[in-house]
Structure 1
């Protein structure tokens, strides 16, 4: 938001990084400063892999790191940030940060633990009851072994679920599955070298438009992420198709790309 003059006064955009609505920090917990590095680059979506061990949710990709928990590295820091900045993850920003929780261990066992842990932060976490969303500064979305399911709307729920393109549960809605994701290579073969084949470009645009019509946000994972023109070509096509979430491990590169190219940022 640019500064503007109004009745002799000037309103300035809050200092700090500009929030980038498409920027998703894949495997965020592997960065030097989990969560904080992503926020410092304006990322509005972060991903944490978790394992349930003895009633606690630990971070880790190939196995649990018993020195780091979801609460210590995400929930507690986010609560401090939101309280310091006036009920927002970014100063003056009205949307919710997406916390994508990729459950690597047994999903049904982790479900009640996630429900209880997130419920302990009622001022921080978005919740759903009777199919209606009560938005708060952070919205949790469960993936991995709790992806592509729905839950009863009769109980207050502290998370949505990450859906799967082409195999959404029957009767699912965007309030149950606020994000729909899939592996890029389940749908496309193009890796950013040379022009994208027109048939694949048409499929991408049609797929995204169809999901948007039903209210879903869309993400593809496993897109090529090595620095170079192929990655930028992939990002360019995703942006042109209005894909909602762009994955990367390279925070600075995606931040620079979106600041230059995403007019809807």
Structure 2
């Protein structure tokens, strides 16, 4: 059999060869967070091609045009690398490819089919990595510029996803799933932004809670006291070095290092938060792998990785 052979009328353009949800077939989903995404030329596609479920955009608001630009530092900002171009438009493209609607697919009313067993609100089929998958792509937006203006710019620039109904949202009583879940981090969890996000009864942005400060409280813009909970912040994060004194250069000590780290992860999860420790050691690779293996065995929800190719093969 030649690799170019097709038994169907129409050859390679035959409708039998088109499987809408096969856009990302054979890509298993992996609970990896793609850290330092700004290093990648095509961050969304690179991450998703490895099955990575969580990506991150570092954004700066330019007061000249009120547009968000992507970079970790001011020195690396360029006019072309906007939040819209590098992230939002790419996510829209991925989800449109994975949710084809044409004369072939609309023959079946699969919206009703999926909403029968799926509870409170009807929703269209969407998939990230395989047919029927309902695991959202998590987009962390790290606000580098301070102030509410950056927060409002993020909300504004999410419009293409919002208009298509593709953002996970909180409707005041429960979370309504969507294919993209947006979490603010960095300056996005500062007191001024938290004060606005927490009181909102209908919102499509969430927060990344500080894992080591889950008992802190603050006043919302409505004058009500708020605290961290999993409906506001589904994930709690901290730097690896702030969470443990273990460096990974040797096997973790069961009593003085492993037990406290395990307790930190399990106690955070018992409160409903998923856990992520960022900036774990990157080099040497045997140290990196030892830390990944230990964190995975201790049950952390997300492995944070700069080298996502290595994490995907881990």
- 1:234 counterpart residue number: 291
Q: Note the 1:95-244 alignment, pairs <5 A.
A: 95-122=135-162, 123-147=165-189, 149=194, 151-168=197-214, 169-170=216-217, 171-198=227-254, 199-244=256-301
- C-alpha separation in 2, matches of 1:132 and 1:117: 24
TM-score by length of 2: 0.73
SS of 1:175's equivalent?
coil
TM-score by length of 1: 0.86
SS of 1:121's equivalent?
helix
Long gaps (5+) in structure 1: 1-12, 258-265
SS of 1:32's equivalent?
coil
- 1:31 counterpart residue number: 40
RMSD, aligned α-carbons: 1.8
- 1:88 counterpart residue number: 127
Alpha-carbon distance, 1:91 to partner: 3.2
* 8 Å Cα contact 2:38/2:72 also seen in 1: no
Alpha-carbon distance, 1:142 to partner: 0.5
- C-alpha separation in 2, matches of 1:71 and 1:156: 23
Question: Hey, which of these two has a bigger chunk of strand by percent?
Answer: 1
Q: Which moved more, 1:163-172 or 1:74-83?
A: 163-172
Question: Hey, which of these two has a bigger chunk of helix by percent?
Answer: 2
* 8 Å Cα contact 1:85/1:91 also seen in 2: no
Q: Which moved more, 1:102-111 or 1:38-47?
A: 102-111
Q: State the structure with more CA Rg.
A: 2
Alpha-carbon distance, 1:153 to partner: 4.1
- C-alpha separation in 1, matches of 2:93 and 2:41: 19
Equivalent residue pairs, number? 244
- C-alpha separation in 2, matches of 1:91 and 1:229: 32
Cα-to-partner distance string for 1:104-160 (whole Å, 9 max, x where unaligned): 111422111112222442222111121421111010110010126362444421211
- C-alpha separation in 2, matches of 1:194 and 1:35: 34
SS of 1:115's equivalent?
helix
Alpha-carbon distance, 1:227 to partner: 4.7
SS of 1:91's equivalent?
coil
- C-alpha separation in 1, matches of 2:37 and 2:237: 17
- C-alpha separation in 1, matches of 2:59 and 2:154: 10
- C-alpha separation in 2, matches of 1:40 and 1:132: 31
